[in-house]
Homo-oligomer: A and B are copies of this chain.
Amino acid sequence: MRVRNLDVAREAGVSPTTVSLVLNDRTQVALAPETKRRVQEVAARMGYRPNLLARSLLSGRTQTLGVIIPSLSSSYVARIVEGMQEEAGDSNQQLLLTDTRHDPETEAAQMELLLRHSVDGVLIVTGESTLRSLPERLRVLREAGVPCVVIDDQSHAEQVDCVVSQDRIGAEMAVTHLIELGHRRIAHLSGGSGTSTARDRLSGYRRALKRASIPFQSEWVAGRSFSVAAAAQALEALVSLPKPPTAYFAANDRLWAEAIQALRPRSARLLRNAAVVGYANYDFSAYLGISSVDQSPQSLGKAALRRLLDRIETPSMPPQCLELPVNLVVRNSSKPVGSSAP
């Protein structure tokens, strides 16, 4: 059915060995130019496609990497994967993509399958819901001897490579920007304390306030997780204060946008025109005119994949945590104090 090495060999009147040598450009051994030419010609004519399964069985390498993500719904995650794709294409690696649907059990099952497929390595993008089970996943990978890089969480930086963005610095930039616009009453819509990224952003917020000698008030930190309902409620409360915030720093653009959707019309109108800087710079952030801290997720993905390939090449390197720079994208929502509704 499918053309095999042996078929090409017979047709070209040589042995399978020779075919293999020619097609894999083994320059270590000298091949008669005429033989080489003939084999190549025959292989092309017959449409020979080497069976990578067989090769992998022998070599122990599949040129295949597993990617575990919470879900593709987030365009942030999608861009990370896009970055991986790009880098993978350049190294002839294929990506086996699996999403966990935010479910640790699904994640475990999917990883098991990836290992049975003998992936050469695994890239894990952590999500809030699968964070707790991450140590278990890492343990399994270590036992299987399969290298791994974690994206967006550095709580296991001692054991495993990770790639994150400079969240604390990004948050500090955002809040400092608002301060420079004259704001003093700046609230923070937080992503909670479950993820290290959310914690870092809160920490950056506090640092920026401190540097400007603005006292930190815990009541002005809203939101305990990336959940929309909680965020909306918290915003509602802030807006209704006698002296409401004049500006907001949101730990996540999507959280901000969706929370606004869930508000009462009056509050929603207020916040749509509020001074705000968000985080993650989704594509819609531009459409909404929201200033945002951009992490260039593609770069995260690319860096993670490159790191994984290095790790596969040199398993003995000490684990390393890469922190990629972020940059602030200024848009309409960067309003000076006093220019917008409260």
- List A residues at the B interface (Cβ < 8 Å): 1-2, 47, 49-54, 56-57, 62, 64, 71-73, 75, 78-79, 81-82, 85-86, 89, 92, 94-99, 101, 106, 110, 112-118, 143-145, 254, 257-258, 260-261, 282-284, 286-288
Contacts and interface: CB of A to CB of B under 8 A. Distances in A.
B56 A85 contact: no
A289 to B, nearest CB: 9
A333 to B, nearest CB: 13
B113 A94 contact: yes
* Stoichiometry (number of copies): 2
A114 B92 CA distance: 11
B85 A79 contact: no
Nearest to A106: B89
A232 B82 CA distance: 27
Nearest to A145: B1
Contacts of A73: 75, 78-79, 82, 283
Contacts of A79: 72-73
Contacts of A57: 51, 53-54, 57
B284 A261 contact: no
A327 B338 CA distance: 43
A86 B92 CA distance: 26
B52 A117 contact: yes
Contact of A284 (B51, B98, B145, B288): B288
Contacts of A254: 283
Contacts of A97: 81, 85, 95-97
Most B CB contacts (10 A, CB to CB) among A53, A54, A145 go to A53
Top 3 closest A-B pairs, CB basis?
A284-B284, A97-B97, A72-B78
A288 B288 contact: yes
Given A82-B71, A94-B96, A53 B118 contact: yes
B286 A283 contact: no
Given A72-B82, A99-B82, A51 B287 contact: no
A2 B53 CA distance: 18
B56 A53 contact: yes
B116 A51 contact: yes
B72 A81 contact: yes
Contacts of A261: 286-287
Nearest to A290: B287
Contacts of A284: 257, 282-284, 287-288
B95 A96 contact: yes
Contacts of A287: 257-258, 260-261, 284, 287-288
Nearest to A92: B113
A73 to B, nearest CB: 6
A205 B126 CA distance: 44
A228 to B, nearest CB: 12
A123 to B, nearest CB: 12
21 contacts: A49-B115, A49-B116, A50-B116, A51-B57, A51-B116, A53-B53, A57-B57, A72-B79, A72-B82, A72-B85, A73-B79, A75-B75, A75-B283, A78-B78, A85-B99, A86-B101, A89-B106, A92-B113, A94-B114, A257-B284, A284-B287
